[in-house]
Structure 1
Amino acid sequence: MDQELLHHFYDLRQLLIDKWAPAIIVTLAHGKMRRADILTTINSFTYGEEWTVQPKQLQDSILSRTLKRMTEEGLLVRTQEDLRSFPAEVYYSLSPEMEEFLTVVEPAAAWARRHADLLARAKAHRRQTEHGDADQSGGVGADSPDPSPRLA
């Protein structure tokens, strides 16, 4: 069971490893949207200084590639409506599996709210070690290769 649990943890990590995937998933949580609306919504988010990762403004070209990849992976559904209009009205929504995923993630988000102090300490430590203040113990930084074990 331990190896299987570990395997699933790494599967979930791969699902969300893309810089913009979490923001896209949260943005589409309330229903389908057009690409321009997704872009506007994500770029309206504010990120606190305490965040380990400080996303820059999402560019339309990056959003287009990310939406395409997430659709190909089965995370999103792309639909075209009113084919008579030009350009065609294209919408993105979460796949049923990702809608289910959000319901499963909500308790984890509640856990994160309850343990904000723990997360803040972990973020501060990671930020400190990523800026070269870490001891020379060989820890893994954010830019290191993926340390995920290759489980059979």
Structure 2
Amino acid sequence: MAVDRELLRQFYDLKQLLSDKWAPAILVTLAEGRMRRVDILSTIHSFSYGEEWSDRNAPLQDSILARTLKRMTEEGLLVRTEPDTTTFPPEVYYSLTPPMEEFLAAVGPVREWSRRHADLIGRAQAHRRRQSTGADGTGE
């Protein structure tokens, strides 16, 4: 069986693209359109992740969001508009770049797959939680 090296590389490239803890939440939030940082933060805080979300007790801080938005902009995932100097304080908006809009549109079949195989995903998540906390729940 021949190994599809290109497919493997593409998987790792996508994993790297989305490896930041908050990048998926930011991308999903901005799928609705451009937003100011304060609105992005508020929207992400309003999400209900469910029991399987391992970081639910560590909410996104504004300083972390600012750094993440800057990095994602530098990487070409987001567009940062120049400040509107007619308002005080000046308003800065963030939006998805066209390739990221295309990426989110292409995720549709993956979303459907994850719905059909929610039991598999749930088992894998539960296993990872057990492994990270230890069999006795102590983390050792």
Cα separation, 2, equivalents of 1:13 and 1:54: 21
Which residue of the partner structure matches residue 7 of structure 1? 9
TM-score, length of structure 2 as denominator length? 0.89
Alpha-carbon deviations, 1:32-53, whole Å to 9, x = none?
A: 0000000000011112112344
Q: 5+ residue gaps in structure 2?
A: 136-140
How is 1:1-152 mapped onto 2 (pairs within 5 angstroms)?
2-54=4-56, 56-80=58-82, 82-133=84-135
Question: 1:52, 1:123 within 8 Å by CA — same for their partners in 2?
Answer: no
TM-score, with normalisation over the residues of structure 1?
A: 0.82
Question: Structure 1, unaligned stretches of length 5 or more?
Answer: 134-152
Shift of the 106–53 alpha-carbon distance from structure 1 to 2, 3 Å rule, reads farther
Aligned with 2:5: secondary structure? Answer: helix
Partner Cα distance (1:73, 1:32) in 2: 18
- How well do the aligned residues superpose, as a CA RMSD in angstroms? 1.7
- 1:85 shift after superposition: 2.1
Q: Percent identity?
A: 68
Other structure's SS at 1:80 match: coil
* 1:42–1:73 distance in 2 versus 1, CA, 3 Å: same
Indicate the larger mover: 70-79 or 45-54.
45-54
